[in-house]
Structure 1
Amino acid sequence: MSPATPSASTLLKPRRRVSLVTVLATLIALISLMPLLFVVWVAFDSGWEKVSDLIFRPKVAGLLVNTGLLLVTTLPASLVVAVALAWLIERTDLPGRRIWSWLVTAPLAVPAFVHSYAWNSMAPSFHGLGAAVTVSLFAYLPFVYLPIAAQLRGLDPSLEETAASLGKSPLQIFFLVVLPQLRFAMLGGALLIGLHLLAEYGLFVLTRFDTFATAIVDQFQSVYNGPAANLLGGVLVLACLVLLQFESRLRGEERYARVGSGSTRNRIERPLGGLRWIAALLPLGFVAFALGVPLVTLSRWLYLGGTAVWRMEFVSSALIQTALLAGVGALLTTAAAFPMAWLSVRRPSRMQRALETAHYYVGALPGVIVALALVTITVRVALPLYQTVFTLVFAYVLMFLPRALVGLRAGIAQAPVELERAASSLGKPPFWAILHTTARLAAPGAAASAALVALGIANELTATLMLAPNGTRTLAMRFWAYTAELDFAGAAPYALLMIILSAPLVVLLRLEASARETL
């Protein structure tokens, strides 16, 4: 009987742990539903007749078509280019692989609307769907490249060796063995890009491509029509739910952690032979457009503006405020996302997917919708919190939960659950079992998640404009004020500082990706 007793007690511990994590994840999911409940309330308060008049019209159908075309064009292109880049850099003898791995990640330091600002300044006639897809590809591709590259470094080469021993060609091995193992990373990165495309405003305004996000902000700014803007936001929420459901079904419930004795073996390196220098044209072309265009444009405007555009009393204040908001918001958002990330990997179920959807959908809402919801709630229920730092940071946590969740989910997925169970069987309480095993192994992923969130906060615009306390002027706010007046030279210092502030965070992301190789 003695062996049975420890086994029974061991089985009870994970249940108590799951219950606690589920409670935390449910609480955060309910809080995340606030903007959605606000949209529902606006629809209910407006009445069906007004809702039908605002939603069922040709303008909305056109926006839906534009948004759909943007997704079905940008996402496949991003996946193809990201997989090709990751394979060349991580699995071949491409010249300068280490340098390329840093340069391909570097465009994350350039805010999406700064990419648009650069392209619009260099080629004013470049606009429409083609421009929107092109600029989106250069701005957001690192979001999917990073997890794919990290996953490639962590794959066990024995599966590829076995396939090769069975007579499979390198191309067959890639499509039959390697590519299926990249599905988790590919879908997570594509989902993150898709959510950004649904919510992005500045990029598409400057490329003159109408989406739901641009229509919502324009509607609000033109006639201050809250119901119309929020009802359009409801359509955007439905689009997000469709995207989440599609990603969830494709993802499945497979495991991706390696379990076995010894350390991870060195990855297989494929020789390119005479194609080495031709293959280098792909990363060279991507870096030239994704980094070269913004840097050349900024250099030009800074040269034309001279020292007069560097008004240090405004520049230093905006830099400090942006850094503080980004740091605090990143830490709180990452902590809030951890329970859901753990459930997503360890206990996949219908309930988990519902809770995960509640975490994700808010990432597809434009900042103006989240801001409108919080403005209404604080004015009606908690007036002392109206236009305070607390409300602004709270908005950041809601908006950037998807960024934190994707990074944490990938990190936890590579931490074997057997280690967690072993810690519990040795008498560790549930909290300490997670802390000593999964949390430690997922720490690089948590750092990457915090960096991604900080990047987003440092570049966030619309919600900050509506919720920031009096006197708050972030770098993005200053940049957009000058851009709105077509003062590109005046905007250049703030764009440059956003890039400089984001650069260390991109370095952290790249270091985290390298650290996964040693797990």
Structure 2
Amino acid sequence: MTLALAGAGRRTRSPSWLTLAVLAPTLLISLPIAYVATRAWQVGLAGVAEELFRARTAELLVNTVTLAGSVTLLSALIGVAVAWCVERSDVPGRRWWRVAAALPLAVPAFVASFAWASMGVAFQTMPGAVLILTLSHYPLVYLPVAAALRGMDPAFDDVARSLGRTSWRRFVSVTLPQAWPALGAGALLVLTHMFAEFGALALLRVQTFTTAIFESYELEFDGGTAALQSAVLLALALPPALFEMKLRRDLRFARVGKGGRRRLSLTPLGGARPFVLFGMAALIALALGAPCAVLAYWLAVGKSFGHAAADIWPAVKGSLTLALPGALVVTALAAPLALAATRHLGRLSGLAERLPYVVHGLPGLVVALALVFFSIRFFPEVYQTVALLFAAYAVLALPLAQSALRASLELAPARFEEVARSLGKGPVAAFVAVTLPNMLPGVGAALALITLELARELTATLMLAPIGVTTLATEVWSQANEGRYAAAAPFAALLVAVSAIPVYVFTRRSLELHDL
């Protein structure tokens, strides 16, 4: 059966070695906040008031909230609807739809925006941006909600069915409450992605705080204005991050005892089946088919492909040499954060768990500016090195690694280690024998997710990559931003192909594990 729990078992104070391990990523994550505060202090109260109460700031605030709120809401509605259709209804081809619904995640948002923008200026508007970014980001909600629906115990649904409740009432009163943590986590990721999105919005000519921050620094070299605009983004990201974490902490569901696996009774769609199939097919066609078709068009008829082809291998090499070791660095820094959050109480572990999600709402440009600011003053030898770029990757991608690692750690309660200790094993031996094997699936998932994320990262790479180093993402941006769509197409197509492989394998693997 499934129980709603108010806690996760007894947790203890963290040992000194873990406290030291948590301090390093926590201090690193704090640098963007310290940068924003320092630059705002340098501007002074009068400058802060002048900037915050400008008509331009109000316009950016409206645009940012409108875009982030609209995309998050639509992504949540679409993600939950598609997850329910493929997991709880008798829609034909359910296994195929399960994979197909996740594949739009393989098309980076700025690549999708480049494809749509190249069709004409009609999509370079706020409604166009909402549509395109929703199509790109709804899988961030669909995937965790679908996983939650697959893992739910069917007992509650069967009881509600026996009481005569309709499909809609069972969904609202039984299914949705159990999916809230997954829905909240997915929606928070979408929201923070929208706060930080730059490349897609720049190509679609939509102004938000992120694009304004880029202009303040690149065009006017005004770090003070950029810092104040970043402070507004931090203020916007803080409440939803705290709310989602409170939801995850206070409402947990666990299955007590496997018992015999029972299949859920699928809800018959009846006369709605053709409409559901049409809707899902249209969604996949718009989210995946349209961008890929446009890329194929530019590859087929473009005149500048030959010029760009000579630069493809350096871009591929740059993407791999940055993404693969970067993923190892990020996962290594995230491991003590996840371990402290699931095993040990304390203010430091609580702060370390929450802070990355708050900073995740900052654009990569602000993170890069913060690291440049502090490295020049305190560690000039790391300026314009790969180490500084990896630090930026860690700040930007820690929440993804934390989520993957935490999911595995929560499957191995701390009591298992206590049992191993009672049998004579020391702390390290108990960790290696009990906890580490349970962490390995999460480590693998974290490495795959972070590699995918870093291969597509744009703004921090543009700012911090050593001179002469290019990636597929930066080449797409450089060519598309100048209107050279045919030249950008080979890099964009390769980026989609590289992204599609881990998305497909990860989705199929999760289904195979569920079916065991």
2:468 aligned to which of 453, 468, 471: 471
Aligned to 1:40: 37
Q: CA 1:162/1:355 → structure 2, altered by over 3 Å: closer, same or farther?
A: same
Greater alpha carbon shift after TM alignment, 295-304 vs 50-59: 50-59
2:157 aligned to which of 150, 155, 160: 160
- Report the 3-state secondary structure (helix = DSSP H, G, I; strand = E; otherwise coil) of the residue aligned with 2:122: coil
> What is the alpha-carbon distance in structure 2 between the residues aligned to residue 259 and residue 25 of structure 1?
32
1:114 aligned to which of 108, 111, 114: 111
> What is the alpha-carbon distance in structure 2 between the residues aligned to residue 261 and residue 154 of structure 1?
11
Letter in 2 for 1:409: R
Q: CA 1:518/1:16 → structure 2, altered by over 3 Å: closer, same or farther?
A: farther
> What is the alpha-carbon distance in structure 2 between the residues aligned to residue 159 and residue 422 of structure 1?
32
> How do 1:41-440 and structure 2 match up within 5 A?
41-262=38-259, 264-305=261-302, 308-309=305-306, 311-346=308-343, 352-416=349-413, 418-440=415-437
Do 1:212 and 1:232's aligned partners in 2 also have CA atoms closer than 8 Å? Answer: yes
Deviation (angstroms), 1:415: 4.5
Do 2:108 and 2:496's aligned partners in 1 also have CA atoms closer than 8 Å? Answer: yes
Do 2:40 and 2:228's aligned partners in 1 also have CA atoms closer than 8 Å? Answer: yes
Do 1:192 and 1:406's aligned partners in 2 also have CA atoms closer than 8 Å? Answer: no
Letter in 2 for 1:400: A
Do 1:118 and 1:294's aligned partners in 2 also have CA atoms closer than 8 Å? Answer: yes
Aligned to 2:495: 498
Question: Residue deviations 1:270-322, cap 9 Å, x none?
Answer: 33334333322232111000011111110111111268436443101110110
> What is the alpha-carbon distance in structure 2 between the residues aligned to residue 100 and residue 420 of structure 1?
40
Aligned length: 508
Deviation (angstroms), 1:134: 0.8
Question: Residue deviations 1:448-487, cap 9 Å, x none?
Answer: 3322222221111221111111110111111111112211
Letter in 2 for 1:365: L
> What is the alpha-carbon distance in structure 1 between the residues aligned to residue 326 and residue 373 of structure 2?
22
Aligned to 1:514: 511
TM-score, length basis structure 2: 0.91
> What is the alpha-carbon distance in structure 1 between the residues aligned to residue 86 and residue 345 of structure 2?
33
Deviation (angstroms), 1:349: 7.1
> How do 1:474-485 and structure 2 match up within 5 A?
474-485=471-482
Greater alpha carbon shift after TM alignment, 505-514 vs 381-390: 505-514
Deviation (angstroms), 1:214: 0.6
> What is the alpha-carbon distance in structure 2 between the residues aligned to residue 342 and residue 305 of structure 1?
51
Q: CA 1:188/1:423 → structure 2, altered by over 3 Å: closer, same or farther?
A: farther
Greater alpha carbon shift after TM alignment, 378-387 vs 48-57: 48-57
- Report the 3-state secondary structure (helix = DSSP H, G, I; strand = E; otherwise coil) of the residue aligned with 1:364: coil
Letter in 2 for 1:464: T
Do 2:409 and 2:435's aligned partners in 1 also have CA atoms closer than 8 Å? Answer: yes
Please give the root-mean-square deviation of Cα atoms over the aligned residues, in Å: 2.5
TM-score, length basis structure 1: 0.91
Greater alpha carbon shift after TM alignment, 431-440 vs 451-460: 431-440
Q: CA 1:420/1:157 → structure 2, altered by over 3 Å: closer, same or farther?
A: farther
Q: CA 1:211/1:123 → structure 2, altered by over 3 Å: closer, same or farther?
A: same
> What is the alpha-carbon distance in structure 2 between the residues aligned to residue 420 and residue 99 of structure 1?
40
Query: Runs of 5+ in structure 1 lacking a partner?
Result: 1-10
> What is the alpha-carbon distance in structure 2 between the residues aligned to residue 420 and residue 209 of structure 1?
52
Q: CA 1:495/1:248 → structure 2, altered by over 3 Å: closer, same or farther?
A: same
Do 2:113 and 2:132's aligned partners in 1 also have CA atoms closer than 8 Å? Answer: yes
Letter in 2 for 1:222: L
> What is the alpha-carbon distance in structure 1 between the residues aligned to residue 433 and residue 496 of structure 2?
36
Deviation (angstroms), 1:507: 2.2
Deviation (angstroms), 1:515: 5.0
> What is the alpha-carbon distance in structure 2 between the residues aligned to residue 85 and residue 40 of structure 1?
42
Letter in 1 for 2:336: P
